[in-house]
Structure 1
Amino acid sequence: MAFQELLDQVGDLGKYQILQMVLIFPTLMMLLCQIFLENFTAAIPGHRCWVNILDNDTVSDNDTEILSPDALLRISIPMDSDLRPDKCHRFIHPQWQLLHVNGTFTNMTEPDKETCLDGWVYDQSSFPSTIITEWDLVCSYQSQKSVVQFLFMTGMLVGGLIGGHLSDRWLVEPARWLIINNKPEEGLKALRKVAHINGMKNAGDILTMEGLRSSMQDELEAAQTKTTVCDLFCTPDLRKRICLLLFVRFATIVPFYGITINLQHFGSNIFLFQVVFGALTALVRCLPLLVQNHMGRRTTQTVFMFLVGLSILANTFVPQEMQTLRVALASAGISFAAASSTSFSIHLIELIPTVLRARALGLDTLASRCGAVLAPLLMTLMAYLSILPWIIYGVFPIMAGLAVLLQPETREMPLLDTIHDVKNNKEFSRKVKEINSSVKNDKSLRYFQELTGEEKENYERKTKYRNFLLYLQTSKKILLEN
């Protein structure tokens, strides 16, 4: 638990940390752009059946040359329920009688129709070429678009599994991870590098092996035991935490990708939607950092996830004609999904001890990729009921919000370093609540008065920045003596 004190000496938020965020931003943007590219490469343009008298350039029949393209379209393609040319059917024979403007033909039988046996003609004004036009993934083949997106996401899943191992050869490990994993020399070297970049000139006197061993003795002793992924499931508390975390991540990612790769569902101007949704996603990422300090980790996640589910379910029953309302609800849904993802990441870090956090993050990435794989596959259910995928997208985050309530609250709690910390977490949490609730008691006041000037300053500073509990943990012997 004493690593936070070392981090305070080298700078817990300085140039080094800012530089890390700046460097990771381009990589993240490239990944997101590649995913969102699906909205354009897999866009479905306007289309209709190919008909001989309208689309065959070699046709030279005199009766058709004097007719306009609109007239030829009218006698060749039936109208759908919205009085627009049908996208998936054509007349078997030209219906010349439809050229009569004043004719009602109420007693006539409906002309025979057939599917697009000779292919389709696509509107190329917005999208000259997509996988839809290349492979004719429309009408009865439209569900195969979701299969293509499913295969794309599956490739990301496989690539993540392979690339995750390859990245360990060149990624810089955090100092805390190095120390907890029995590499104190490398951890000290990393801390000195952080202190140098952050301009902490006096940190070198503290960052010694003796100081490290004295401040993190318990953690270094626990590091002698080799940990594996199986250790995440070795105790009931850890097993419950990781299983709930994996479900919540999975259930959060499914609606997020359900919205982001199906922008065309909300309207035709997907270029504008992409800009709006991208801007909202970037802006709301910082919102949970402000809300969680007041509402707590669990409440914040639950509220955001419920809002995601409700916005999607509400959008399901909004008519297609009300495009502004549909876009507004979709924007709210994607914003709350991004916010819930940020709050979840913070909660995960605080629930899993440092010795297992890297492995937990690996499983978290796996659950995230599985959610991304399932999201487009659910769209194939539109063949049975058009709103069924969106109902599932809305139900998932609501279920995840309820599951979050089964996790312990970690606000104002110290980060866990070892499995032993998790075992003692309930008792420690109870003691912390007792200490916080009795700050105004005489006993606590006497203890505060006995502290030196520097200790009092640390007391106030760590309370302000949510680090006082770490100080109490290192000073627990003094508390017991009083």
Structure 2
Amino acid sequence: MEFSELLEQAGGAGLFQTLLLLTFILPCFMISFHVLLENFSASVPGHRCWTQLLDNGSVVPANITPEALLTISIPPGPNWEPDQCRRFRQPQWQLVDPNATTSSWNEADTEPCVDGWVYDRSTFTSTIVMKWDLVCSSQGLKPLSQSIFMSGILVGSFIWGLLSHRLGRKPMLSWSCLQTAVAGTGTTFAPTLLIYCGLRFVTAFGIAGIFLSALGLMVEWTTTSRRAVTLTVLACSSSAGQAALGGVAFALRDWQTLQLAVSVPFFAIFLISWWLPESARWLIIKGKPDQALQELRKVARINGHKEAKNLTIEVLMSSMEEEVASAKEPQSGLDLFRVPMLRKRSCPALVTSFSLLISLYGLVFDLQSLGRDIFLLQVLFGAMDILGRATTVLLLSFLGRRTILAGFQVMAGLCILANTLVPPDLQTLRVVLAVLGKGCFGISLTCLTIYRAELFPTTVRKSTAAQGNRQEAVAVESTWF
């Protein structure tokens, strides 16, 4: 007898699994908010240099229009729009003359924005770009903050994978939720960019723990036959979070209010997490059969399965004898590459994950280049992702994993390549191609998540999930730099 048979006796597809799934929907929904938050909280608004004539009303000459003041104060930039990073040292009054030409001034007449910037606040009342002037010579700090966030997921994937294996899934899940809630809320009040990036790193560190622990508990309490549906539902909840983020950001135009709104719910998730049982499989492997038996009987009671009364410690230990012996052998993530069979699976899986994620995040983190209404774009991306991920379950019934994964990755790549050939002025066509590509990515990513869980044995599944998170973080950093 294997653990899957023990789980069947306790009820592998009953009320308990439904409650467990509903519990994990909320954290999966909220995680998307943090990952994509800087599409809005770090949005780059229109900006220009602060100038005495334009922005100090007491010195504005009479009978001079705002357009004329802009002409004599700010030099033209690309496409003859006002330059965003330079201003005239002195007002160029000669440019007011209708017959003035570009030869009426030169680069020597301009200087950087020494007195700061004036920002367009029609879309957002405040962003971190406005707060810390992450424009012009400091514009490289904006993508750096997102890369630091993804580095937190990278480091967290290493640490939480080890801790959840040694200390248990449930305590690590609860601690990760609390850490995310505290760090995310603290980010709202960050006085400097350095502290902001540090708190974002800690938040991402916690999010990695939530993902790994929740995935481990969900997989280990779900029978193999229902695993694909369960993982797809969780994936769809993540996509729903992407769509909801567009609406929340539309309602909350201040980055601090938005940051607070996406962080406080994790305090509730922390409290909810305490009802969850520990993984019975992990308890048996760690030599705690008494607790494992209690958890299995609790699940059986919730599911209404009376067969669990026949379960005893002797039955548990005899059925798990081989897996317990295997778990006592020295193991690490390097087993993915040392064992020939695992190496043959791991290398293609890692390459596929990286190519998929670097393209996906290059798309979803670049909303401003696709159109002006980034709120609508975010909602469309999330809605298409839900459709794509929900379709995966149907596709898996008719097509193989490899066919779906390869086919939809090719389709997503073609959408992105086609988008590069579309002129910037054809915004509608560019958005359509981007949304179709996002849907294809959703199908590919859901299929890959299910495929990985089926390809690798339980003893190394944590390593493969952590590898996926690391690939995600590295992919995002490669997108920025």
Contact 2:415 / 2:437 at 8 angstroms: preserved in 1?
Answer: yes
Task: Give the AA of the match of 1:282.
Answer: I
- Alignment match, 2:304: 199
Offset of 1:226 from its aligned partner? 4.5
Look up the equivalent residue of 2:147 and give its one-letter code: F
The answer on whether the counterparts of 1:177 and 1:355 sit within 8 Å (CA) in structure 2 is no
Deviation at 1:159, TM superposition (A): 4.2
Q: Following the alignment from structure 1 to structure 2, what is the Cα–Cα distance between the partners of residues 173 and 305?
A: 36
One-letter amino acid of the structure 1 residue matched with residue 48 of structure 2: R
Task: Give the drift of 1:242.
Answer: 2.0
Report deviation, 1:175.
3.2
Matched, 1:322 2:322: no
Other structure's SS at 2:299 match:
helix
Q: Is the 8 A contact 1:288 1:339 kept in 2?
A: yes
From 80, 84, 87, give the equivalent of 2:84: 87
Q: Which amino acid aligns with 2:359?
A: P
Matching of residue 274 in structure 1 with residue 378 in structure 2: yes
Match of 2:148 in 1: 151
- State the match for 1:33 in structure 2: 33
Task: From the superposition, tell whether residues 219 and 137 of structure 1 become closer, same or farther in structure 2 (CA, over 3 Å).
Answer: closer
- Matching residue of 1:245: 349
Distance 2:88 2:103 in 1: 13
Letter in 2 for 1:195: A
Distance 2:283 2:407 in 1: 36
Please give the residue correspondences for 1:270-349 in structure 2 after superposition, counting only pairs within 5 Å. Answer: 270-349=374-453
Per-residue deviation, 1:187: 4.1
Secondary structure, aligned partner of 1:229? coil
8 Å contact from structure 1 (residues 181, 355) kept in 2: no
Q: Residue 405 of structure 2 contacts residue 444 of structure 2 at CA under 8 Å; is this kept in 1?
A: yes
Aligned in 2, Cα 1:91/1:319: closer, same or farther, shift over 3 Å? Answer: farther
CA contact (8 A) 1:180 1:354 kept: no
Q: Which residue of 2 aligns with 1:480?
A: none
Q: How does 1:107-126 map to 2 (within 5 A)?
A: 109=103, 111-113=105-107, 114-118=110-114, 119-126=116-123
| CA displacement 1:148-201 (0-9 Å, x = unmatched) | 221232234334444555554515543345456665554444333322222222
Larger CA deviation: 25-34 vs 165-174: 165-174
CA distance in 1, matches of 2:465, 2:157: 12
Identity percentage of aligned residues:
44
Alignment of 1:81-480 (within 5 A): 81-101=78-98, 103=99, 109=103, 111-113=105-107, 114-118=110-114, 119-164=116-161, 168-169=167-168, 170=171, 172-179=277-284, 184-205=289-310, 207-209=311-313, 211-212=315-316, 218-219=322-323, 222-223=326-327, 225-375=329-479, 377-378=480-481
Take 1:164 and 1:227, find their aligned partners in 2: how far apart are those partners?
13
Which residue in 2 is equivalent to 1:17? Answer: 17
Alpha-carbon distance in 2 for matches of 1:140, 1:320: 25
User: What is the CA-CA distance between 1:241 and the residue it aligns to?
Assistant: 1.6
SS of alignment partner, residue 67 of structure 1:
coil
What's the Cα RMSD here?
Answer: 2.9
Partner of 1:321, secondary structure, is coil
CA separation of 1:145/1:265 partners in 2, compared to 1, >3 Å: closer, same or farther?
A: same
- In the superposition, the TM-score normalised over structure 1's length comes to 0.68
- 1:281 counterpart SS class: helix
Give the TM-score, by structure 2 length.
0.68
TM-superposed CA distance for 1:91, in Å, is 4.1
Shift of 1:297: 0.8
Q: Which residue of 2 aligns with 1:398?
A: none
Shift of 1:352: 0.8
Determine helix, strand or coil for the equivalent of 1:48.
Answer: strand
Write out per-residue CA displacement over residues 431-474 of structure 1, whole angstroms, 9 at most, x where no aligned residue. xxxxxxxxxxxxxxxxxxxxxxxxxxxxxxxxxxxxxxxxxxxx
SS at match of 1:128: coil
Residue identity in the other structure for 1:51: T
Indicate the larger mover: 333-342 or 186-195: 186-195
C-alpha separation in 2, matches of 1:161 and 1:217: 28
SS at match of 2:87: strand
Cα separation, partners in 2 of 1:90 and 1:292, compared to 1, 3 Å: same
Q: Deviations over 1:268-327 (max 9, x none)?
A: 211222222223333432222221232111111111212222222222222222211222
Tell me the residue number matched to 1:47: 47
Is the CA contact (8 Å cut-off) linking 1:157 and 1:370 kept in structure 2?
yes
Q: Which amino acid aligns with 1:123?
A: D
Unaligned runs of 5+ in 2: 174-276
1:42 to partner: Cα distance: 0.9
1:180–1:355 Cα contact (<8 Å) kept: no
Q: Which runs of 5+ in 1 are unaligned?
A: 379-482
Partner Cα separation in structure 1 for residue 462 and residue 299 of structure 2 = 20
